[in-house]
Each structure stands twice: as structure tokens, then as C-alpha cells.
A and B are shown apart, each in its own frame.
Chain A
Amino acid sequence: MTCSQARPLLPLLTYGDLPAADTQALRDHLAICAACRRESSEFQHVRAALGSVSVPAVRVDVPRLFQEAAARQVRRARRWRRMTVAACGIAAGLLLIALLRLEIQADSRQLTLRWGAPAVEDKTPLERIVVRDDSSALAALDDRVRLLDDLVHALITDVGDRDDRQTQRVALVRDRFEELRARDARRLTETERSVAAVVTALSYVPRKGEKP
């Protein structure tokens, strides 16, 4: 065994924690190595020095220990009760919030679940038409539909009449226009004739001895 092999084993040798074979080999080495022997001696002194440290005499107060245990048990139970109450409070709060924000509407044909704030009322006509499942609402709706149907038909008829009347007016205007154009043409012809006659009359030069 060499010194580098022996030295790490010296603390274990000091406390008798080496296997028998290692112990014997180490003792053989110590017998021939003064440096390792000196180090081994230092470890023995360290062991002796550790043993010299005094320890205060301690006496556990068992009755006080029982009292503390009981007090701790009470404190723990109280803390647990507080935590339970707090947890229940939080759960109730959450439930309340959930219920306040959750709206449930149940009709005969539909179940509506709505979460959050109520929707802002929309003023568009479509939103106003709410289908309600009762006979009076259906009858009113039928009346409205029928009324709308009549109105649509009346509008169609009225538009047709107006269209016919407008067509007749257009025809009259067209006839009148044709008539005016024909009259203008006639007048133009007469005017042309008159002009031609005047021109002819003005351009005539009587021959000598001829009377105009």
C-alpha cells in the first residue's frame, strides 16, 4: 500500500470502519511510514478532542409538551375551521357571481342560457318580431302577415294602374307631337310657296312696252 492509498483510509481506521483486510494492509503500511503514522496519530487526537466537547444537560418538560401539543391541536383546528369558512365564503361568492351573471329562460319549446350582462336592446324591426309560442301572438302575427299581404297586393295593383295611366299619357303626348309636326310641315310648305311667289314677283323685269 502506498501513502496516497493509505491516507484516505486513515479516518475510517480511526473509527474502526475499515474491512479487516484493509485494516491489516494499512497497519502494515503504518509500521513502515512515519508520515502516515503521524497523520494517523493526528486523527486519534481529533477523535479525542471531539469527545471533549461538553453537552448541556437537557430535560424535556413532558407535561408542557402535552400542553403545547394540545394547544397546537386547537390552533390547527381553528386554522382549519377558518380556512374552511374562508373557502366556503369564496365558493359562495363565486357561485353568487355566477348566478347573477347567468340568466336562464325556459319556455315550452326552448331553454335559453345567457352568461354575462344582458344584451343591449336592438332597435331594428327584426329584433322586435319576437316569436312567442302562444295562440294570441300567433293570431296577431297571422293578421299582420295577412295585412302585409293585402298591402303588397294593393301596392301592386296601384302601381299597375299608374303604369297604364302613364302609358296612355305618353301615347297622347306622342300623338300630339305628331300632329304638331304635321302642322308645322304644312305651314313650312305654304311658307316656302309664298316666299317663292314673292321672290318671283320681285325678280320680274317688265319688257319694254309691257305693263307690270
Chain B
Amino acid sequence: MGFSDHDDAGLVARWQRGDAQAFAELVLRWQQPIARFLTHLLGRSHLVADLCQEVFLRAFEAGPRYRERGILSTWLYRIALNVARDCGRRQRHAPAALTAGEPASAAPQPDAICERREADRLVAAAVAELPEPLRLVLVLRHYEELSFEEIARSTGTPASTLKSRFTVALNQLRLRLRNLDFSPKDARS
């Protein structure tokens, strides 16, 4: 996560007092984590920019009702999850595999880029094929590095259930990638 909850709380307090700059700072802090979350959850990188905009728009509109009961990230992820589900209902088809978007730091070599994009596509396709409850816990645990207790607060699902789902998700992913002949060397790290 990388951001201090204390700082978030201060920014939220300023924002709720009407300081638009505080909201802009919150957006700056959280736009990339939310984009990452939506990208992995939906498997459609081309939609992510618009959905991010929608997430923060909803957050802005709901700001006066936000109370400091939990941490900001929990609230934002919950909004993002609702936005993703609304998008899924609108799209009405299975999540598409990720097309390789422009990475935040592009590699210079064309061959390396092609190989990496192919690897990205395979992994993203495998993630996208997971059922939504499994995909959600995988994304929040792996990409957002939330603990199971934090995920439980975000989703309202018991931590023990989340652990079981995470185990199933990772196991399914392992088998899918094995079937896709995804070799360990394909991984970037």
C-alpha cells in the first residue's frame, strides 16, 4: 500500500471541510493502486482509465457521508469493486484477457517487450478466467498486498473463507499456467 493511514485521514478531514486540493492529493495517491486493482479484477485494461475516473467520482460524491470507521483504502476498494461489478453487468460477457497496456516503465528492447507482453497476456488470461470471488481475493492479496483481515473488512467475507478462496485461486492458476506451458523463465522476476 505504501501510504500512511494517518496522512489519508488528514487529507480526508481537509477534503470534508471543503478543501478540493486535499481530494486531488488523495486521487494522486490512490489512482494507481485503484487502476491496478481494476485492471487485474476486470482483465480489461482499456476500460481502466474510465473506471478509475468513475471510482473517484463516486468517492467524491460520497465524501460527505464517509466516516472514519475504517481506513480509506478499504472504502476505496469497496467503491472500486462496485464500479467493476457494474461494469461487468453492463458488459455482460466474460472478462477478456488483458491486452498489454502501456506499462508504467517500458522496457527498451522490442523482443523483450514482445515476450513480456505474451507472458502478460497468458497470465492475465489465466487470472481473468477465475471466478470473480477467487479473482477478487487474489487481486487484493497479491497486487494490493492487503492482509486477509483487511480484505475481510473490504468485502464483508470472513478471513477464513478468504484464505480458502485464495488457496483455491492460486491452485487453479498454477494448473492453468502449467497447461498453458507457461515456464518460470517467462516470468519477469
Which A residues lie at the B interface, using CB under 8 A? Answer: 8, 11-12, 14-15, 17, 39, 42-43, 45-62, 64-66, 68-69, 72
B184: CB under 8 A from chain A? Answer: yes
CA distance A15 to B40 in the complex (A): 18
Interchain CB contact under 8 A, B119 and A65: no
Nearest 10 CB-CB pairings of A with B:
A56-B101, A52-B188, A54-B103, A58-B35, A11-B170, A48-B187, A45-B184, A49-B187, A11-B167, A55-B36
Can you name 8 A-B residue pairings with CB atoms under 8 Å?
A15-B141, A15-B166, A43-B170, A55-B39, A57-B35, A60-B27, A60-B31, A60-B52
Given A55-B36, A56-B102, the answer on whether A49 and B186 have CB atoms closer than 8 Å is: yes
Picked from B49, B147, B174, the residue with its CB within 8 Å of the CB of A42 is B174
Q: B57 contacts which chain A residues (CB < 8 A)? A: 65, 68-69, 72
A-B contacts at CB below 8 angstroms, number: 129
Q: A65 contacts which chain B residues (CB < 8 A)? A: 27, 53, 56-57, 60
Shortest A75–chain B CB gap in Å is: 12
Picked from A12, A39, A48, A53, the residue with its CB within 8 Å of the CB of B167 is A12
B77: CB under 8 A from chain A? Answer: no
Shortest A49–chain B CB gap in Å is: 4
Q: B186 contacts which chain A residues (CB < 8 A)? A: 49, 52
Q: B13 contacts which chain A residues (CB < 8 A)? A: none
- Chain B residues numbered 1-54 whose CB sits less than 8 Å from any CB in chain A: 20, 23-24, 27, 31-32, 34-36, 39-40, 45, 48-49, 52-53
4 new A-B contacts, CB < 8 A, other than A17-B148, A43-B170, A52-B186, are: A46-B174, A49-B123, A59-B31, A65-B60
- Mask of B160-187 contacts with A, CB within 8 angstroms, 1/0: 0001001100110110011000101011
Interchain CB contact under 8 A, A55 and B104: yes
Given A58-B31, A60-B27, A66-B20, the answer on whether A50 and B48 have CB atoms closer than 8 Å is: no
- Chain B residues numbered 126-184 whose CB sits less than 8 Å from any CB in chain A: 127, 138, 141-143, 147-148, 163, 166-167, 170-171, 173-174, 177-178, 182, 184
Picked from B20, B34, B104, B188, the residue with its CB within 8 Å of the CB of A48 is B188
Interchain CB contact under 8 A, A43 and B174: yes
B100: CB under 8 A from chain A? Answer: yes
**A72's closest neighbor in chain B, by CB?**
B61
Interchain CB contact under 8 A, B40 and A53: yes
**B159's closest neighbor in chain A, by CB?**
A17
B116: CB under 8 A from chain A? Answer: yes
**A51's closest neighbor in chain B, by CB?**
B189
CA distance A14 to B174 in the complex (A): 12
User: Which of B45, B174, B177 has the most chain A CB atoms inside 10 A of its CB?
Assistant: B174
CA distance A17 to B165 in the complex (A): 14
**A58's closest neighbor in chain B, by CB?**
B35
